[in-house]
């Protein structure tokens, strides 16, 4: 079995009025690897993520996940199979959670769809999943509005890993959180990857965050990849002016916003 779980080759996405969002993007993600896709808003990184999930279909190029090329059409059985291969955690957990569904029900829904469990088994597994992301049994009976932003993102992570996917896409998953909460979520994600061997595709505009979570990185600008390489090397010695500008925008001791040029 191949160690490559995702292979994107020559991805291109053109929207209405000939707007090219992604142009000739290629990369691979190996088993257990964390790949960062970095760029400013409008760089095309989220469109790439949506093509990996099948939420957008490429205008050109191919996406292969777990050895199978993603086709445009998919029946219910195929969609369930794909859900076991790749899941996503969105930036805003509040908008991605049903405000009327209790947290235990949110997490349990995936178990009911994908695993032949009794209700008692699903309940027990739901509590295990909540515990694995740092939540307690009492949180299972709460509604999303009763949780903090960080807690809601933990629920979103628990829901995503409940079906035991091989790849998890994290689309700006910590961007809406305070810095201290960001660190907690990043540590949680590192622990999950160490325990399970899951692969990550981490979409972000923040190179400080990327440094903590990824092994390799690609930098996108205007729909194209402008730089790629091992994350420590890319951050230590960026080759393009664009990557250097992204790095200069990361706050550090003595940092002054007016000194940063785009």
pLDDT tens figures, 183-235: 999 999 999 999 999 999 999 998 888 988 999 999 999 999 999 999 999 99
User: Which residue positions in the chain have pLDDT lower than 50?
Assistant: 1, 254-262
CA distance 42 to 22: 10
Query: Structural domain of residue 49, as residue ranges?
Result: 4-259
Looking up residue 16, the CATH number of its domain turns out to be 3.40.50.300
pTM: 0.91
DSSP class of residue 260 equals -
Q: φ and ψ at 43, to 5 degrees?
A: -80, -15
**What confidence score (pLDDT) does residue 262 get?**
40
What pLDDT, on the 0 to 100 scale, is given for residue 252?
58
**CA within 13 Å, CB half, 189:** 30
- Give residue 253's pLDDT: 53
Tally the domains of the chain. Answer: 1
pLDDT, position 71 = 78
Residue 117, number of CB atoms within 10 A of its CB: 15
Instruction: Look at residue 25 in the predicted model and tell me its pLDDT.
Output: 97
Nearest to 87 by CA among 111, 51, 53, 48: 53
Identify the residue whose tokens are 């993007």. 25
In this prediction, residue 258 carries a pLDDT of: 46
CA angle in degrees (0–180, nearest 5) for 29-159-75: 70
In angstroms, how far is the first alpha carbon of the chain from the final one?
Answer: 44
């Amino acid at each position: 079995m191949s160690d490559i779980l995702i292979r994107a080759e020559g991805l291109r996405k053109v929207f209405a009025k000939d707007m090219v969002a992604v142009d000739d993007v290629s990369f691979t993600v190996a088993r257990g690897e964390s790949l960062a896709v970095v760029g400013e808003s409008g760089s095309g990184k989220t469109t790439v993520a949506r093509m990996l999930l099948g939420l957008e279909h490429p205008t050109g190029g191919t996406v292969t996940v777990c050895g199978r090329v993603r086709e445009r059409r998919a029946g219910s059985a195929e969609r369930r199979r794909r859900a076991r291969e790749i899941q996503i955690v969105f930036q805003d957990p509040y908008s991605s959670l049903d405000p009327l569904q209790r947290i235990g029900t949110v997490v349990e829904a995936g178990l009911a769809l994908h695993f032949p469990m009794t209700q008692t088994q699903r309940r027990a597994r739901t509590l295990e999943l909540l515990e694995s992301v740092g939540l307690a049994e009492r949180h299972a009976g709460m509604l999303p509005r009763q949780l903090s932003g960080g807690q809601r993102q933990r629920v979103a992570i628990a829901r995503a890993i409940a079906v035991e996917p091989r790849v998890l896409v994290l689309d700006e998953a910590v961007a809406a959180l305070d810095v201290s909460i960001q660190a907690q979520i990043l540590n949680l994600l590192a622990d999950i990857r160490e325990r399970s061997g899951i692969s990550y595709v981490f979409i972000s505009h923040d190179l400080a965050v990327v440094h903590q979570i990824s092994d390799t990185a690609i930098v996108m600008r205007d729909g194209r990849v402008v730089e790629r390489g091992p994350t420590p090397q890319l951050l230590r010695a960026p080759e393009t002016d664009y990557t250097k500008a992204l790095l200069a925008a990361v706050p550090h001791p003595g940092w002054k916003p007016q000194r940063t040029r785009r």
